[in-house]
Amino acid sequence: MILIAAPVHHFFLDTLSEKGIDFLYEPTISYAQVLEKIHDSTTLIVSTHIKVDKKLIDHAPKLKWIGRLGSGMEHIDVTYAKSKKIICESSPEGNCNAVAEHALGLLLNFYRNINRSVQEVKNHQWFREENRGTEISGKTIGIIGYGHTGSAFARLLSAFNVTILAHDKYKAGFGNEFVTESTLDEVIKYADIISFHLPLTSETQRYASADFFLQLKKQPIIINTSRGSVVDSVALINAIETRLISGALLDVLENEKPNTYTSEEKEIFNTLIKFENVMITPHIAGYSHEATYKMSKVLLEKLGII
C-alpha cells in the first residue's frame, strides 16, 4: 500500500488506480497521523511538511520505498532508511526548470525595476529615467552547485550572451560551449551575479558565510532558490549594509514559518524586507503547474509503475 502524505498531481492518483494499486491519499496529513497510518505501507510519498525520522521509519516495518516530491532530502533520515534497506528517491528532474525560470525571473525583475515601476504606475506615477534598467547581457554569472537546477539555470542563461562560471565540488567534466567549469575562487573573483543551487547538508549549512561575502570582488547580486540555510542571514544583511553585494534575490529563508519567529528572527526578517535591493518570494520557485505533473511522473517512473 502506498501512503501519499503530500499533494500530488491527479496523474499520479489516476495511474495508481488504473494499475489497481492500493493507496491512501492524505495530502494534509500530520506527522502524528502518519505514525498511525504507516504500519502497513510499503511506500511513502512526502514533500517537506513531514519529517521522515527514525521514529517514523521504525513505525513502518513494511516500508521499502520513500519518494520525495521535489529536491532536497534534508527532511528524510536517508542514512537510517538505507540501513533498513529502504530506497530513497527524490524528483529534482521534475521541478528544476521551474526553479531555473523563477531564478531568471527574479533577476530580470531586479535589473529592470519591474515590481517597482508597476506599483508606481498603479499610483499614477510615470517615471522612465528613474527606472532605467540594466541588461543581463555581458554579465558574468556564477552558479554554485551544478545539479539539475544549476544546469537548468545555465541552459536558460545561455540565450543571454553571458559568461557562465559553474562550480560543483563533486562534479567534473560538465563544461560546454556555454558553461565554464570553475573553481570557487574564480566565481568569487569574477561573478557579477552568484546563484546558489545546493542541497542542504552539514557541508552547505551557511555556505554563504561572513567569510564568503568578505572574499567577493565585484559586489555581485546573490540569488538563492535552493535552501534558506545555505545563506547566513545575519552575514547577508551585513554584506548588504557594507555594500559587499549589490542585492539579494531570495526564494528561501532560514526559517520560513513567520509565526514561529523568535525576536531575533523577527528583527532579521524585518531588516531584510526593508532593503530596496532585496526581493523575497515565499519558496515558490519549484511551484509550477507543470512541475507538479512532472514530479509525479518522475516518481512513478522511479517506482517502476510506468
Over residues 28-39, the pLDDT tens digits come to 999 999 999 999
Looking at the structure, tell me whether residues 57 and 128 fall in a common domain: no
Residue 101 in any domain: the answer is yes
Residue type, 106: L
Is 224 among the domain residues? yes
For residue range 259-297, list pLDDT tens digits in order: 999 999 999 999 999 999 999 999 999 999 999 999 999
pLDDT in tens, 60-99: 999 999 999 998 899 999 999 999 999 999 999 999 999 9
Say if residue 264 is in the same domain as residue 149. yes
Same domain, 77 and 114: no
pTM of the model: 0.94
Active site residue 256: yes
Q: How many domains are contained in the chain?
A: 2
**Among 4, 30, 33, 7, residue whose Cα is nearest residue 16:** 4
Average pLDDT (244-254) is 98
Q: Domain for residue 119, yes or no?
A: yes
283 in active site: yes
Residue 276: give the domain boundaries.
Answer: 94-280
Active-site residue, selected from the candidate residues 49, 112, 116, 283: 283
Same domain for 68 and 105 = no
Rounded to whole angstroms, how far apart are CA atoms 90 and 302? 9
| Residue 297 covered by a domain | no
Q: Which of 130, 256, 290, 301 is catalytic?
A: 256
What local confidence, expressed as pLDDT, does residue 72 receive? 87
Does residue 1 register a pLDDT over 90?
yes
The answer to whether residue 291 is domain-embedded is no
Which position among 9, 68, 197, 227 bears the catalytic label?
227
Residue 299 domain-assigned (yes or no): no
Residues 174 and 264 in one domain: yes
Percent of the chain at pLDDT above 70? 100
Residue 168 within a domain? yes
Active site residue 132: no
Same domain, 124 and 190: yes
Cα→Cα distances 125→113, 116, 117, 128, 232, Å = 14, 11, 8, 10, 37
The predicted-structure confidence for 208-242, as pLDDT tens digits, reads as follows 999 999 999 999 999 999 999 999 999 999 999 99
Q: Is the pLDDT of residue 149 over 90?
A: yes
Dihedral over alpha carbons 76, 77, 79, 80 (to 10 degrees)? -130
